[in-house]
Amino acid sequence: MRYVTLSWPVALALVLAHTCRGAPVAETTVGSGDARHGGPTQSELRMATEYLERYYSLKGERHGRRRRSESTFSAKVRDMQRFFGLNVTGSLDPATLEVMRMPRCGVSDVQEYSDQGPKRWTKRVVSYSIGKYTADMPERTVEHLIGSALNVWASASSLTFVRSFSRSANILVDFVTREHGDSYPFDGPMGTLAHAYGPGEGIGGDTHFDDDEVWTSGSDGLNLYVVAAHEFGHALGLSHSNNPESLMYPTYKKRNQQNLLSREDTLKLSILYGTRTGLPYHYSRPSWSPFYNPWHLSPRFPLLLQDKCNPNLSFDAVTTMGESTLFFKDKYLWIKHKQQCDTKEGPIKNFMPKIDSSIDATYSVPNKSTVYLFKGPKFWTLRGSQVRGKAKSIHKFGFPKQVERLDAAVHMDGTDHTLFFTQHLYWSYNEHRRAMEDPHPRYMKADFPGVNSSVSAAVHQDGFIYFFSGPVVLKYDYKKKQVVGADKANSWLGC
């Protein structure tokens, strides 16, 4: 339990409203509407009063009574209408009431961060931790989306975000419901969706998501990546914008996930933290396997979030390396650590400067601390994070001369055997004897029933072989000789 001095939280305004920008018209009375609407009802007036008290500083009287001075009330209505680009009528017309009914911010649109103490973090390395998860998606998906949302801001600033497993992290993420201990309770489905606190000690930076909402990683429901990216803007010190193109605009809408930040967002961030001069360093926890030495990325590489979660994504090669899994696609590489939320990614040559090509197949032999990478008729040997020597011919393994490339390879953990696949055939190789078990290949359909198409990658984990075929990965029980499960290939990247 952390004892803190509460500041006003900053919450995500998610308003699914269609707004228009019109010229101001003459103010009317509080209760007036138009001929079609007939004026607000008592419940609408009560809802609007609570809305304006919470978001536009309308003052309420003591003992729970509401001050409904027409001049004060109408002034606050006009403030709200200006912010959302509505016709500035000062009255509760249908368009205004429609916006007020929509899920939106948990705090004022007119409050500045200067009222809350520090406007920015005074450190360049900011820790974050995920406390309570949502049951709407797997934990590794939540971790991926939270890490990716933070990277939106890291990629545009000098900040680096480091995963912590402590409740004392700078930014503590929790999925909670209703009253959750910070005096700003959530209100159930489709009300206030999330809120975050500005930079500071104690509760500063903490970000809460309403777990009564339906969180997703796609277009249905509420996209956690987009919402979290908005919230983390608040956790860094940014307030809401009335520019609809800004990520900090207080409405939820589908956005280009490869380019969430507007020029305005980038400018405001640079005012607080300066511009990015190089790629933020991604710190690793001490629990990384000694076999895996994290690589430093070169200063420039693209973030391909959309490709990463494309349901049609397939991999050219996959292998484990210590407690990490490496995924190759064209000239790109993802490195996913089993205990880490972020995925290191970039062109292969950023991690392995000697390799400037795609990879056809790969496998690792843990007891040799060695990874083999195959491209066409050549292969490289990787130990630690270094490519050893020059590329060699794949025929050193004993393949006949007509074999010019491999489709996939997998080492059977706990044995001396490695399987090589090409089209509808496969070979078994003995790592101890460094020779093929049989110079003649066998047919896949005979020994792997259920794997009916060619495979592009394979990996052995937890006693199962996982065959990647296009956008699908098959879970194969080698002892029972049957497929026991299937999933999307990109699910291995947390999508």
Which residues are marked as active site?
231
CA dihedral 138, 139, 141, 142 (to 10 degrees): 120
Q: Residue written as tokens 């990478």?
A: 373
State the Cα–Cα distance between residues 68 and 45, nearest whole angstrom: 10
- Report the distance separating Cα 249 and Cα 260, nearest Å: 12
Measured in degrees and rounded to the nearest 5, phi and psi for residue 450 equal 100, -20
Phi/psi region, residue 18 (left: phi>0; alpha: psi -120 to 50; beta: rest), is beta
Radius of gyration of the chain (CA): 28
What φ, ψ does residue 289 adopt, rounded to 5°? Answer: -60, 140
Q: How far apart are CA 77 and CA 72, in angstroms?
A: 9
Coil/strand/helix, residue 485: strand
Residue 393, H or E segment: strand 386-393
Helix axes 139-154, 224-235, angle to 10 degrees: 50
Question: What token pair was written down for 3?
Answer: 């004892």
DSSP state of 60: B
Q: Are 326 and 291 in contact (CB under 8 A)?
A: no
Under DSSP, is residue 307 helix (H, G, I), strand (E, B) or coil?
helix
- Helices 42-55 and 70-83, packing angle to 10 deg: 70
- Both tokens of 336, joined, read 């996913």
| 72, two tokens | 């004060």
- Report the C-alpha dihedral over residues 397, 398, 404, 406, rounded to 10 degrees: -50
Q: Which two tokens stand for residue 312?
A: 């049609």
